[in-house]
Homo-oligomer: A and B are copies of this chain.
Amino acid sequence: MFVSDLPTRIAITDEGPREGFQIEKECIPSADKVRLIDALSETGLKAIQVCSFVSPRLVPGWADADDVAANFKPTSDINYSALWFNQRGIDRALAQRERLTLTGTIHVVASEAFCVKNLGRGRDENLQQMRSQTKAHLDADITVGKISVMAAFGCNFQGRVDTSEVLAAIRDGHAIASEANFSDAAIGFRGNCSITEIALADTMGWANPALITRTVASVRSQWPDTAIRLHLHDTRGLGIANAYAGMCQGVDRFDTTVGGLGGCPFAAHPGAPGNIATEELVLLAEEMGIATGVDLDALLAAGHLAEKVVGRQLPSALLRAGALPEVTYHV
């Protein structure tokens, strides 16, 4: 019975604020962004990605990232993270070091075409950038523990992505980590670059459950001691099925967004749903007896707040239908 591989507990990182506000065209007041983060802090979630320190020219929705990071109300047992892709981003994140949990990620891309579209540089150039960024992280005493693979399941600009490309991208990431440790040790060790997690992102909604199953199995066979995280988008409606397929392979770490906020601004399908909705993943898990630690009612309230903040109905079905009547979960 394959269900026996299901984890007993999953860890969810809600990236609603970061993913959600980067794609919205309207200028959303910083105070509203802060309100949503504070609401998410009340749900039992233990990890929230609050903002993106990226170029305001490329992502105008996060021009106010510094303000938002400085003003949400932190709760002590929650990991508040942020995203960045260059030195300027690191510097902005470091200014919020007391409030954010700064961890370094080595971002790699399984599709050359998407790398150019999303990061404005080819994969070779990106690896160069990640090399120097990783060193910068270690110099700033930021632990680098994660390799994240974008477009790991397919690409709107390139088509299908073979698993061999995913494995090659992860190897590139590991090479950067090894090299950084080596050179860092030579000059006196400051940070720590030990990869404990590989994140596979279905950035443009190309995954299906069979592909998730195969890819997770392939990655695990190469790096059996490294945790696998799934970052799934519900672009074409298969997101929750893909999460379930991941759980069946024992995956216990997921990125989601409350309400299904978001979608990648560079992924070329305006109007399509964003990431898988946090509340739908919580329902999926809890109904199967998998603990999430999340209060679903509080999360749905945060989802309704998110709809008010962005001024439109979000794609989450559960936000429309409401939780199962009379059903509660142990939080």
Contacts and interface: CB of A to CB of B under 8 A. Distances in A.
9 contacts: A1-B213, A208-B283, A208-B287, A235-B321, A236-B321, A237-B283, A237-B318, A238-B280, A238-B283
Contact of A154 (B206, B234, B324): B324
Contact of A269 (B237, B241, B321): B321
Contacts of A156: 325
B154 A237 contact: no
Nearest to A316: B237
Interface residues of A, number: 49
A84 interface: no
A12 to B, nearest CB: 15
A31 B208 CA distance: 37
A236 B280 contact: yes
Interface stretch (A16-24, A88-96, A167-175, A271-279): A271-279
Give how many copies assemble into the complex.
Answer: 2
Given A208-B283, A269-B322, A273-B320, 15 more contacts: A2-B248, A156-B325, A159-B326, A160-B327, A210-B288, A211-B288, A235-B317, A235-B321, A236-B283, A236-B324, A238-B287, A240-B240, A240-B241, A272-B317, A272-B321
A106 interface: no
A243 interface: yes
A243 to B, nearest CB: 7
A317 B237 contact: yes
The 5 tightest CB contacts between A and B, nearest first, are A272-B321, A237-B317, A237-B280, A2-B2, A208-B287
A280 B323 CA distance: 23
A205 interface: yes
A300 B190 CA distance: 55
A250 interface: no
A61 interface: no
A289 B237 contact: no
Given A241-B243, A272-B320, A320-B271, A159 B236 contact: no
B318 A288 contact: no
A120 to B, nearest CB: 21
Interface string A1-40: 1110010000000000000000000000000000000000
Interface in A301-331: 315-318, 320-327
Given A2-B248, A322-B269, A277 B241 contact: no
